[in-house]
Amino acid sequence: MKAFPIELDATVTRDFEERGFVVTPDVLNGADLDRYSAAVDTEVAARTAGDERAVADKSLYEQSFVQCMRLWETNDLVRELTCAPQLAGIATQLLDVDGVRLWQDQALYKEAGGRETTPHQDQTFWPLGEEALISAWIPFDNVTLHNGAMSYVPGSHRAGRLKVVDITHSTDPYNILSDPALNGAVPEPVEVSAGSVVWHHGLTVHQAAANLSSATRRVFTIVYVSSSARRVKGWYAYPLDRAGIAEGELIQGEGLPVLWPPPEALPEPPANIGIAVGPQ
């Protein structure tokens, strides 16, 4: 078995198992942050070129963040970050699985004046069951409650799949924070320095604060799924439909590379590139 580049202490994995989120400090150094953030900035600028709308003129969803997906498919430097073995190794340890594959990466840039991100669980968006799934939330700048820090409901990943939240419109009266399955637990804010990574389980209920600062809150996320996960439901999901994965089949194929154990070489981007701005 390959050694993890960053070996987690048992207290960290236990914390994640119990609470459904954890911070790993000092994963990226200043030089990493500079070059990776510049690469992500370039991709976001390219994909949003021509969109001159003020935040207030955007949809409620877009006011939460500018979302640009699958940047590893169009940028070699981002590919290096998304496929980094130190990150995939941490994901594997936290999920306590044999290996992980990439589900998706994305920039979530919350503009100055951007609204809060509505509380939700990630995993209910996708045709998965309760497969092991985890997100690395990677801030390129220091993040506080003033500029859009995340908050997580401790232990909420143990409540299973709750009702899906429509974060694209936010008109649904369902408030996941009032779901009886959470037993009144409240979100806990997590303020972090750039270089840290905040990890959350796919079923952990989370939200992000509004950005009251004058600068964009720049965050990149990588979502990993256990390499033994299967597609559980039939509804449309770009990554699975592009790879031709039918209900019940193992998740694998185009655009879904195994990242732990680390591949011999950086995975090639798919022939059929999945550029996307906005939810998909």
Q: Which residues bind ligand AKG (CB under 6 A)?
A: 64-65, 108, 110, 117, 122, 135, 137, 206, 208, 219, 221
- Least Å distance, CB 108 to ligand AKG, is 4
- Least Å distance, CB 264 to ligand AKG, is 30
- Least Å distance, CB 142 to ligand AKG, is 14
DSSP 3-state percent helix, strand, coil across the chain (nearest 5): 25, 25, 50
Nearer to ligand AKG, 70 or 206 (CB): 206
Q: What does the alpha-carbon distance between residue 42 and residue 122 come to, in Å, rounded to a whole number?
A: 26
- Least Å distance, CB 249 to ligand AKG, is 25
Contact partners, residue 238, CB within 8 Å, separation at least 6: 274, 276, 280
Nearer to ligand AKG, 135 or 156 (CB): 135
Nearer to ligand AKG, 103 or 260 (CB): 103
Q: Classify residue 266 by burial, with Cβ atoms within 10 Å: 0-12, 13-18, 19+.
A: middle
Q: What does the alpha-carbon distance between residue 186 and residue 112 come to, in Å, rounded to a whole number?
A: 26
Torsion of CA 229, 233, 236, 242, to 10 degrees: 30
Task: Give bridge partners of residue 230 from the DSSP assignment.
Answer: 250
- Least Å distance, CB 221 to ligand AKG, is 5
H-helix or E-strand containing 90?
A: helix 85-95
Nearer to ligand AKG, 68 or 262 (CB): 68
Q: Identify whether the C-beta of residue 153 lies closer than 8 Å to the C-beta of residue 185.
A: yes
Residue number of the CB atom closest to ligand AKG: 208
> Taking the mean position of all CA atoms in its chain, how far away is CA 251?
18
- Least Å distance, CB 2 to ligand AKG, is 27
Nearer to ligand AKG, 113 or 261 (CB): 113
Nearer to ligand AKG, 36 or 137 (CB): 137
